[in-house]
Amino acid sequence: MTATTPTPPTAPRSGEWPTGEPPPSSPASLEVLVHRLDPGLPLPTYAQPSDAGADLATTQDVTLAPGERAIVGTGLSIALPAGYAAFVHPRSGLAARHGLTVVNAPGTVDAGYRGEIKVNLINTDQSESITLRRGDRVAQLVIQRVEHAVFREVADLPESVRGTGGFGSTGGFGHSSDGGPRREDHGVRSRS
Ligand SMILES: O=c1ccn([C@H]2C[C@H](O)[C@@H](COP(=O)(O)OP(=O)(O)OP(=O)(O)O)O2)c(=O)[nH]1
């Protein structure tokens, strides 16, 4: 038998997928058990093969007045493998067009949760109501691996470049690294 010499990997060019191949058109798949509490509604659906979020539909009609919240059902319960969580995110289009978002974005669905996935919606528009009909796609579910930390208490933490600088410590709207004058946000006030 002739020994084959393994082909050395070619170094990826800048911007290229590391193997030299085009990137996969869809992410690696994970089997997630799903139970339809409302068989009239679809399973979570990825609108495009490479989407991170699978759309979730509301089980009920609801009208949200400006500033109003509502918890809607999705008719779905799932069993995630241990080490995963699902996150209920808003849909960008509804947020941009109507101000519809998720109050607790992203909502966290724990691996052990077997109840119905619910969506806590809020209409942030100041003047327009929004009416959602049963079956409308109101949110998206992103499934991710999560780590469980082992919290090890120490007297001092290792140093870092940011250190203890928190909210706004790198400046206002201006870029902090371009050497130019920074546009600070002194004039910006949040409404109370
Ligand atoms: O947008 C969401 C967020 C949560 N849940 C469900 C799944 C989750 O596992 C459970 C509890 O959520 P979370 O832990 O965020 O809520 P909590 O207020 O901390 O409640 P708990 O004391 O039950 O942990 O509620 C949803 O259906 N939708």
List, in sequence order, the alpha helices (H) in the chain.
Answer: 92-98
Pick the CATH number of 33-145 from 3.20.20.10, 2.70.40.10, 3.40.50.300, 1.10.10.60: 2.70.40.10
Contact 149, 68 (CB under 8 A): no
| Single-letter amino acid code for the residue at 161 | V
pLDDT digits (tens, 9 = 90+) for 136-168: 999 999 999 999 999 999 999 999 999 999 999
- Cβ of 118 closer than 6 Å to ligand 1, yes or no, is yes
Ligand 1 centroid – CA 108 distance (Å): 6
Mutating to test ligand 1, I would choose from 69, 104, 113 the residue with most ligand atoms within 8 A of its C-beta, which is 113
- Looking at the chain, the whole-number percentage of residues with pLDDT higher than 90 is 74
**Residue at token pair 């992410």:** 27
Ligand 1 centroid – CA 116 distance (Å): 11
- Tokens at 124, concatenated: 């942030």
SS3 55: strand
pLDDT digits (tens, 9 = 90+) for 9-25: 444 444 455 666 666 66
Whole-complex ipTM: 0.98
The count of other CB atoms within 10 Å of the CB of residue 56 is: 27
